C-alpha cells in the first residue's frame, strides 16, 4: 500500500513554478516522490495516511551544493594559510593535504555532509583531487561515508597530474600518473555511477585546474566522460594568476583552453567562473556550460565576483557552492545563498537581484549543473527532497515576508530535512548521527593530519 504524507498549508513555499501551492504538498513516501501540489483552500485529491502541519514552516526544495572539497574541513582556519590569495594559500596547504588518509577522509566526508544537511542541503557534489599513495581508494571511502548520511551525492573523481617539476603548482607528492587517473576514473564510473531518476550516487570526472593537470588529461577525461555520459567538472577562471598561467603555458585564455581540450559543452560545470570577458560569456552560454558561484570562497581569497546575471542571460545555468572548507571555512548552504544574493547585488545593484534569485540558484540552478531533471523544483513527479525552516528565533522576529526573511534575517539551520520522502533532520537535529560523536572524531582526525607535517 502506498503511504502518503500531506505537508499541509506551509507558512510559505518556494517551488520554482508559478503553480498555486498554498495548500502544500502530498508526498508518496514509498516512492520518495511528490504526488500532488495542493492549491489554496483545497484538499488532497485522495485522503492521506499522515499529515504534517506546516503552518510554522517555510518550505524549500532541498538545497543543492555543486562545489566542495570535503577533506578541507580538516584544515579550517589554519594559521599558516590565513590571509593569503589562491596560489600561496594552495602552496601552504598542499604539503599538509599530502598526509591525508582513509580515516581522515571518511570523517571529513561524514562531517561535511552532515553540516550541509543541517543547513537544508539534500544533494551535494564533492571535488576530491588529493590521492597520495595511502589514499588511492578515496572515492570508494567517500561513497561509504555518503551512504551513511542518506543524502544524494555526485562525487567527482578529481585529479592532479602536473607537478611543480613540470611547471605546475602542486608538489610531486600529490600528483598521479595520467594512466592511473584514467583507469581509476573508469573503475569508479562502472562501480558507482547510477544515472537513473532518483539516483543517490553519481560520478563525474574533475581534473583539478589548468595549473595542476596536463592538457592530455583534460582531453582524455572529456573522451571518457562522453563515452559513459558522465559530467565534467573543474575550477576555471577563478583568479587572474590562473589566467596569466594559461596565457604563459598554453598561449591562450581560459575559455579558449576549455574549448581546445573539448570541454566547452553542456556536460561541463565550472567552479567560480569569475574572469570572463563578454565574448567568453556568450560562448559559455551558447554551449550551455554551467557555472557554480562560490561567493564566500571568492570573498575570502579576494578572487573577484562571478558575473552571474550576464552568464544566466547568455544561457549558462548558474548554481551555488560553498567551496572549501579551507576557503570558506564553513559548509552552510542556506547562508551561502545569502552571500550570493548580497555579493551579486554589489555587482549588479539592489534592484537587479532578489532573494528569489538566490533561492533559484541554490535549488533549480544547482540541479541543472548536476544534470538532475528530477530535483530542484517542487511539482508532481519530482523527487521528494525538502528543506523546512522555522522562523521562531529572535533573528526573525518582526519580519513580514517569510521567504525574504529566510535570507535577509540569516537562516542558518533547517528544522526538518527530507530526502526521497524520508526525514533525515527533525527539530534541527540529525536523526541518524550523533553530532557530538562526529565533532569529536573529526577534530581528532584534523589534529592528526596537521601534526603529521
**Binding site residues, Zn ion, CB under 5 A:** 323
Closest approach of Zn ion to the CB of residue 325, in Å: 10
d(C-alpha 192, C-alpha 228), whole Å? 12
Instruction: For Zn ion, give the closer residue by CB, 69 or 360.
Output: 69
Angle of helix 215-228 relative to helix 178-192, nearest 10 degrees, comes to 20
d(C-alpha 218, C-alpha 273), whole Å? 17
For residue 100, give the 3-state DSSP assignment.
coil
d(C-alpha 260, C-alpha 57), whole Å? 49
List all residues 6 or more positions away from 253 whose beta carbon is below 8 Å from its beta carbon: 243, 246, 247, 280
Instruction: For Zn ion, give the closer residue by CB, 323 or 385.
Output: 323
Q: Can you tell me which residue has the cell 593535504?
A: 97
Closest approach of Zn ion to the CB of residue 274, in Å: 12
Angle at 305 between CA 303 and CA 308, to 5 degrees: 140
Element holding 8 (H helix, E strand): strand 4-8
Instruction: State CA 66 to chain mean position distance.
Output: 2
- Give backbone dihedrals phi and psi of 55, rounded to 5 degrees, phi first: -60, -20
Closest approach of Zn ion to the CB of residue 298, in Å: 10
Candidates 304, 293, 303; CA nearest to 339 is: 293
Closest approach of Zn ion to the CB of residue 209, in Å: 8
Instruction: For Zn ion, give the closer residue by CB, 5 or 108.
Output: 108
Closest approach of Zn ion to the CB of residue 112, in Å: 13
Closest approach of Zn ion to the CB of residue 124, in Å: 13
Closest approach of Zn ion to the CB of residue 361, in Å: 17
Instruction: For Zn ion, give the closer residue by CB, 34 or 217.
Output: 217
Instruction: For Zn ion, give the closer residue by CB, 99 or 327.
Output: 327
User: What does the block give as the cell for 231?
Assistant: 559530467
**Cβ contact 199:226 at 8 Å:** no
Instruction: For Zn ion, give the closer residue by CB, 126 or 323.
Output: 323
Nearest residue to Zn ion by CB is: 323
List all residues 6 or more positions away from 397 whose beta carbon is below 8 Å from its beta carbon: none
Instruction: For Zn ion, give the closer residue by CB, 65 or 185.
Output: 65
Amino acid at each position: 500500500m502506498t503511504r502518503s504524507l500531506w505537508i499541509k498549508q506551509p507558512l510559505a513555499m518556494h517551488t520554482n513554478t508559478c503553480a498555486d501551492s498554498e495548500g502544500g504538498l502530498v508526498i508518496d513516501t514509498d516512492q520518495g516522490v511528490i504526488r500532488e501540489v495542493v492549491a489554496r483552500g483545497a484538499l488532497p485529491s485522495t485522503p492521506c495516511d499522515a499529515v504534517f502541519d506546516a503552518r510554522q514552516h517555510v518550505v524549500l526544495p532541498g538545497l543543492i551544493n555543486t562545489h566542495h572539497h570535503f577533506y578541507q574541513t580538516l584544515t579550517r582556519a589554519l594559521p599558516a594559510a590565513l590571509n593569503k590569495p589562491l596560489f600561496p594559500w594552495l602552496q601552504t596547504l598542499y604539503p599538509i593535504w599530502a598526509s591525508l588518509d582513509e580515516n581522515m577522509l571518511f570523517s571529513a566526508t561524514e562531517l561535511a555532509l552532515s553540516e550541509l544537511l543541517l543547513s537544508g542541503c539534500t544533494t551535494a557534489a564533492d571535488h576530491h583531487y588529493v590521492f597520495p599513495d595511502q589514499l588511492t581508494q578515496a572515492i570508494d571511502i567517500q561513497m561509504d561515508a555518503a551512504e551513511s548520511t542518506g543524502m544524494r551525492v555526485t562525487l567527482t573523481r578529481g585529479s592532479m597530474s602536473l607537478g611543480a617539476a613540470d611547471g605546475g603548482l602542486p608538489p610531486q607528492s600529490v600528483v598521479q600518473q595520467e594512466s592511473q587517473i584514467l583507469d581509476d576514473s573508469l573503475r569508479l564510473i562502472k562501480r558507482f555511477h547510477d544515472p537513473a531518476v532518483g539516483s543517490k550516487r553519481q560520478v563525474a570526472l574533475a581534473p583539478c585546474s589548468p595549473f595542476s593537470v596536463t592538457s592530455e588529461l583534460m582531453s582524455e577525461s572529456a573522451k571518457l566522460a562522453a563515452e559513459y555520459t558522465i559530467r565534467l567538472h573543474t575550477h576555471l577562471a577563478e583568479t587572474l594568476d590562473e589566467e596569466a598561467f594559461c596565457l604563459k603555458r598554453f598561449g591562450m585564455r581560459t575559455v579558449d583552453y576549455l574549448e581546445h581540450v573539448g570541454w566547452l559543452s553542456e556536460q561541463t560545470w565550472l567552479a567560480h567562473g569569475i574572469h570572463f570577458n563578454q565574448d567568453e560569456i556568450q560562448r559559455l552560454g551558447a554551449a550551455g556550460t554551467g557555472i557554480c558561484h562560490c561567493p564566500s570562497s571568492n570573498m575570502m581569497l579576494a578572487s573577484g565576483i562571478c558575473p552571474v546575471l550576464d552568464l544566466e542571460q547568455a544561457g549558462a545555468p548558474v548554481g551555488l557552492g560553498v567551496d572549501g572548507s579551507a576557503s570558506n571555512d564553513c559548509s552552510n548552504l542556506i547562508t551561502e545563498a545569502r552571500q550570493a544574493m548580497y555579493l551579486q547585488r554589489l555587482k549588479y545593484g539592489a534592484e537587479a537581484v532578489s532573494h528569489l534569485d538566490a533561492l533559484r540558484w541554490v535549488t533549480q540552478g544547482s540541479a541543472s549543473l548536476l544534470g538532475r531533471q528530477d530535483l530542484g523544483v517542487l511539482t508532481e513527479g519530482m523527487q521528494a527532497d525538502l528543506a523546512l525552516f522555522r522562523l521562531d528565533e529572535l533573528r526573525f522576529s518582526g519580519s513580514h515576508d517569510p521567504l525574504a526573511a529566510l535570507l535577509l534575517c540569516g537562516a542558518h539551520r533547517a528544522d526538518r530535512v527530507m530526502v526521497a520522502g524520508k526525514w533525515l533532520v527533525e527539530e534541527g537535529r540529525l536523526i541518524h548521527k550523533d553530532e557530538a560523536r562526529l565533532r569529536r572524531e573529526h577534530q581528532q582526525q584534523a589534529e592528526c593530519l596537521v601534526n603529521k607535517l
